[in-house]
Amino acid sequence: MSPDKILTRWGALKTERASWMTHWQEISTYLMPYQGRYFVSDRNRGGRRMNSIYDSTATRANRILASGLMSGATSPARPWFRLATSDDDLNTYQPVRIWLDDVAKLLLRIFAKSNTYRALHQMYEELGAFATGATILLPDYDNVIHHYPLTIGEYAIAADYKGNVCTIYREFEKQVSAVVKSFGYDNCSTAVKNLFDKGSLDSWIPLIHAIEPRADRDFSKRDNKNMPWASYYLEAGGNEGKFLRESGFPQFPALVPRWAVAGGDIYGNGPGMEALGDIKQLQHEQLRKAQGIDYQTNPPLQVPSHLKNSPIDRLPGGITYYDAASPTGGVRSMFETQLNLQHLGADIVDVRQRINSVFYTDLFLMLANSVDSRKTATEVALLQEEKLLMLGPTLERLHEDLFKPMVEMAFTQAKNANLLPQPPDELRGMEIGIELISVLAQAQRAIGVNSVDRWIGSIGAVASYKPEVLDRLDADYWVEDTADLLGVSAKYIVPRDKAEAVRQARAQAAQQAEQMAAAEQQSQTAKNLAQSPTDGDTALSGIMSAFTGYDAPAGA
């Protein structure tokens, strides 16, 4: 691939993206003014951008959505995924289960040590506003992995025939010192070398980074230039027909989640787009309400012409002199404005509720409050079952577009760094999958657990007067299935073989205790008989004498 072809495709991708840009810019204006880079020179601008926002309800709702997804789907404070194989029986095998749990904990520590959670929060904000987020995940010597989060407008993407994002191009700027340090002095253009030699280290240089499937790779080689995905860096308009760097990746390094995708669209649609009309209406009503208040508290005045050059004191208690011969010619309002702010305020409340509903604010605030009230995932599911079901498709898409590939990349880098423990022999050749066990995932699973709980409760009620119904309940399977649905660690569950051994030992101990009790009872009975007096003898001797002579010969 030549630099000219990269530039040609970059132009085609920007043309494909052009229809979305106006929409994104409008969302930035009314929702997230500091997000989005629609021109290369947009970086590091600190000017006031909130001038179109009179009511911050939408901005706050989007932040609650981002924080809710962070705490509900990928909380840094608790495990939010686990590893499993496609073999259910193997998943219950204790050494395999413990190894999978240990590896999951290792990956969670890698995420916590790197900038993963900061990048995820930024992506969640972009998802809520623009329905598309992006980050590039690369290996890192210090932290195993490192995210390079992107914002809307600075990148363009393309998808394969299955609809999965497989290509990402981005245009950004770096300072001369960073360009030389990243790519080497000899690889830079003449213009960059001249700036570096003159000491202009803080000048900004536009760069293009392209990641796409490599079509001309040599499958017999495994170097960077023959990996499945190609990576190209070049200077925009100044690289003199050569790359700053050409390399590659064994797997697509970009994570590009989308809230929802319609048909064959490349970019996503989501809450920010759905609520944009309400957001603009809210800003308009707040502006008109403020203007109405101004008209009532600071109206335009009608002043007699002879007071044109005279001072008018408009402060409370102020005095202004006018001609008594014209009593109706005093200072007065030019027209009366009687705006019913009560009705306008009620409509503003209604619009705010619609905006909060679009961003699932009530659901995520309920999840946050459930920590204090100790609500279980089942209780959360019962309270917000409908909203959880509506959020289900989004979580499924995030699982495929974000969570699964991110965990796989971290697993690959941990393996390359020799950080993984030695796996059991049973895992040879087995594919390892990822299951979500976050608060949101458990709450959605709890919707299915509710029916099981009701069934168990019904059996318990019947068992009080018909105990044999418990024979139809497989308690061991219930323990394992419920733990699986609720994401309980395998270390809390005793394996079936060990549980069976404990049961056998308990049964043997009970049998021995029963035999000892029976023997003791017989001994006590004999003792009591021996000590019980009858006619001149004891009961025991009487019993023994009753059997005397049975073996003697007849007539003896």
Tokens for 94?
């204790």
Q: What are phi and psi of 235, to 5 degrees?
A: -80, 135
Tell me, what DSSP letter sits at residue 140?
E
d(CA 553, CA 268): 109
Do 360 and 341 touch, CB atoms closer than 8 A? no
pLDDT at 546 over 70: no
What Cα–Cα distance (Å) separates residue 345 from each residue in 59, 285, 289, 357? 19, 9, 8, 18
Could you tell me which residues come within 8 angstroms of residue 195 by beta carbon, excluding any fewer than 6 positions away?
A: 176, 201, 203, 205
**Which pLDDT score, from 0 to 100, does residue 530 have?**
63
pLDDT tens across 124-144, in order?
A: 999 999 999 999 999 999 999
d(CA 387, CA 368): 15
Our CA dihedral for 231, 236, 237, 240, rounded to 10 degrees, sits at: -30
**Which pLDDT score, from 0 to 100, does residue 556 have?**
43
Higher pLDDT, 10 or 384: 10
What is the arithmetic mean of pLDDT over 327-340? 68
pLDDT tens across 193-202, in order?
A: 999 999 999 9
Range among 125-139, 294-308, 364-378 with highest mean pLDDT value:
125-139
pLDDT at 372 over 70: no
Q: What is the mean pLDDT of the chain?
A: 83
pLDDT band at 72 (very low <50, low <70, confident <90, very high): confident
**Which pLDDT score, from 0 to 100, does residue 436 have?**
83
d(CA 282, CA 273): 15
Place of tokens 């001072």: 311
Lowest-confidence range among 12-21, 256-265, 267-276, 356-365? 356-365
| Residue 204 identity (one-letter amino acid) | W
pLDDT at 112 over 50: yes
Place of tokens 């009309």: 277
pLDDT tens across 461-496, in order?
A: 877 877 777 777 777 767 766 666 666 666 667 777
pLDDT at 503 over 90: no
d(CA 480, CA 482): 6
User: Can you name the residues that pair with 245 across neighbouring β-strands?
Assistant: 233
pTM for the predicted model, two decimal places: 0.77
d(CA 82, CA 100): 8
pLDDT tens across 192-239, in order?
A: 999 999 999 999 999 999 999 998 887 778 788 889 999 999 998 776
**Which pLDDT score, from 0 to 100, does residue 437 have?**
81
Lowest-confidence range among 24-28, 118-122, 301-305, 505-509? 301-305
Tokens for 184?
């080497």
